[in-house]
Amino acid sequence: MQQLLRIAPVIDDLGNLFRAEGHELFLVGGSVRDALLGSLGHDLDFTTSATPDETHALLRRFTPSTWDIGKDFGTIGALKRADGQEWQIEVTTFRADIYRSESRKPEVSFGDSIDGDLIRRDFTVNAMAVDVATRAFVDPYGGLDDLADGVIRTPSTPERSFSDDPLRMMRAARFASRLGFIVADEVVRAMTDMAERITIVSAERIQAELSGLLLTDSPRAGLDLLVRTGIADYILPELPALKLELDEHHRHKDVYQHSLTVLDQAIALEKDRGHEPDIVNRLAALLHDIGKPVTRRFEGSKVTFHHHDVVGAKLAKKRLRALNYPSAVVKSVARLIDLHLRFHGYSDGEWSDSAVRRYVRDAGDELERLHILTRADCTTRNQQRANRLRRAYEELEWRIDELASQEEIASLRPHLNGDQIMEVLGIGPGREVGQAYAFLLEHRTEHGPLPEDEAVELLRQWWADR
């Protein structure tokens, strides 16, 4: 009731508008769930008996800021400013959507009752409503009990619910992680039996749901549920492939569990270092070892994964593109996976200036993310080794800061630019300019900055030696 009173300036006026025209209006779904959990924000979801056109007309009387981008799905949006606050509102006509077996998109149809609308919703904890006019609480499918018990259950049978929209199987995993709830046994069985049905859902919707899961505070439980039910085999097969069969002597750790732990640790480091949830960080942490299954070799008593960083970067690119992730995300994740072992080439020795410059140069804009991934990748139970790796990486970050205070290393450039190179050598654009540029950049990385006159002499000597 405290939550409802807090939003009363919005819902009272809106409710009176709809009621005066003979329409029902309910606060619904996630808004009711979050109100019951004491965490209702400024995004309010409603459902109504009014048609989309009727809803739009009423909302225009309520606020000048409205939009109908979701009209084909029965949804009209609005922005309302009241008492110094902004409220984002979505009002959807009672729905009765279904998927046909061969379709990738829902077939939209409108319902005629609140109970019919709620039974079509994904889970009981999202199938509760409050009548805006009377404040009557509507909970025909036991959502309040499931919310109290911490259980994810469907209003209708899970088979019917997942047949209507297979993406709900992934949503069950997201809510399990977001709310820390247990998924009911019958829901898990249906997810397992119907896993292949996820293939009719578009890549864009799968990507959005996967990102939503990864961006929760604790995605591990949801990801493990997707693997256990077989859904991951269709949307992210590289993840269950990490469950390598352990040999009898346990010569390598469980790569699957290691990857989930790295994700946990990357999320903790994000928070510790003051960052917002970052999908690039989390995808890189989850997928950093996906090259291991195809590179695993047994060499005597030792197991190896040579070049799994390079192979993993290529596999990540292919999978993320298939999921229609933005090209910038794909590029960043692949680069991080490709670089995630770079630190270990220096971890047992002292960092020279040239090694520091090369590390920073290769990381480029991904340096902070590489710091997080590399630190998170230490999951050894050997405390002595863990402490040694942590100290070594702290030394690297200290050396980067120290060198950065003396010279520009964040965006390394050669001693001379292309125009200067052509002027010194008396040549025009061509391959030789690129070769000279690469030579000067490598020298800058290895030895540090030079005064311009010395750089000119170095370039002339290189040219003469050719």
Same domain membership, residue 27 and residue 4: yes
CA-only gyration radius of the chain, Å = 28
Strands 151-152 and 182-183: what pairing?
parallel
Residue 345 · residue 315 · CB < 8 Å: no
Judge whether 412 lies within some domain: no
Judge whether 413 lies within some domain: no
What pLDDT score does 253 carry?
64
Burial state string for 15-43 with b = 16 or more CB within 10 A and e = fewer than 16: bebbeeeebbbbbbbbbbbbbbeeebeee
Burial state string for 200-224 with b = 16 or more CB within 10 A and e = fewer than 16: bbeeebbbebbbbbbbbeebbbbbb
- Residues, the chain: 466
Domain ends where: 217, 235, 253? 235
131 strand-pairing partners: 26
What pLDDT score does 247 carry?
45
Give the Cα separation of 325 and 338 in Å (integer). Answer: 18
- Which H or E run includes 118? helix 114-119
What pLDDT score does 398 carry?
79
Residue 377 · residue 337 · CB < 8 Å: no
Judge whether 51 lies within some domain: yes
Token pair of 428 as six digits: 């025009």
What pLDDT score does 248 carry?
44
User: Cβ atoms within 10 A of the Cβ of 316, count?
Assistant: 26
Residue 38 · residue 5 · CB < 8 Å: no
Same domain membership, residue 399 and residue 322: yes
Same domain membership, residue 374 and residue 284: yes
Give the Cα separation of 96 and 40 in Å (integer). Answer: 26
Give the Cα separation of 254 and 157 in Å (integer). Answer: 36
Residue with token string 């750790």: 253
Same domain membership, residue 305 and residue 372: yes
Same domain membership, residue 372 and residue 246: yes
> Is residue 259 exposed (0-12), middle (13-18) or buried (19+ Cβ within 10 Å)?
buried
CATH number of residue 70's parent domain: 3.30.460.10
Whether this model's pTM surpasses 0.75:
yes
Token pair of 78 as six digits: 């609005």
Same domain membership, residue 188 and residue 283: no
Residue 361's closest CA among 426, 411, 429? 411
Give the Cα separation of 415 and 443 in Å (integer). Answer: 8
Q: How many domains does the chain fold into?
A: 4
From first to last of its 466 residues, the chain has per-residue pLDDT tens of 777 777 877 888 899 999 999 999 999 999 999 999 988 888 999 999 999 999 999 999 999 999 998 888 899 999 998 777 888 999 999 987 555 555 555 566 777 789 989 998 999 999 999 999 888 999 999 999 999 999 999 999 999 999 989 999 999 999 999 999 999 999 999 999 999 999 999 999 999 999 999 999 999 999 999 999 999 999 999 999 998 755 444 445 689 999 999 999 999 999 999 999 999 999 999 999 999 998 888 877 788 888 899 999 999 999 999 999 999 999 999 999 999 988 876 655 567 788 888 888 888 889 999 999 999 998 877 777 778 778 877 878 877 777 777 666 666 677 788 888 888 888 888 888 888 888 888 888 788 778 888 888 888 988 998 8
Same domain membership, residue 68 and residue 139: yes
Judge whether 98 lies within some domain: yes
Judge whether 198 lies within some domain: yes
CATH number of residue 349's parent domain: 1.10.3210
Token pair of 247 as six digits: 């040999």
Same domain membership, residue 259 and residue 210: no
For residue 459, report the phi and psi dihedrals to the nearest 5 degrees: -65, -45
What pLDDT score does 111 carry?
74
At position 89, the amino acid (one-letter code) is I
Residue 215 · residue 279 · CB < 8 Å: yes
What pLDDT score does 411 carry?
62
Judge whether 411 lies within some domain: no
Same domain membership, residue 230 and residue 245: no
At position 19, the amino acid (one-letter code) is R
Judge whether 220 lies within some domain: yes
Judge whether 443 lies within some domain: yes
Domain ends where: 126, 143, 160? 143
Give the Cα separation of 338 and 106 in Å (integer). Answer: 39
> How many angstroms from the chain centroid is the CA of residue 455?
45
Residue 222 belongs to domain spanning: 150-235
What pLDDT score does 249 carry?
44
Token pair of 133 as six digits: 């006019």
Same domain membership, residue 117 and residue 13: yes
Residue 93 · residue 52 · CB < 8 Å: yes
Token pair of 291 as six digits: 């090259």
Domain ends where: 99, 121, 143? 143
Helix, strand or coil, per DSSP, at residue 407: coil
CATH number of residue 227's parent domain: 1.10.110.30
Same domain membership, residue 311 and residue 334: yes
What pLDDT score does 246 carry?
52
Give the Cα separation of 370 and 358 in Å (integer). Answer: 14
Residue with token string 């070892």: 289
What pLDDT score does 101 carry?
58
Same domain membership, residue 383 and residue 295: yes
What pLDDT score does 346 carry?
62
Residue 167's closest CA among 205, 193, 136, 194? 205
Residue 64's closest CA among 79, 74, 54? 79
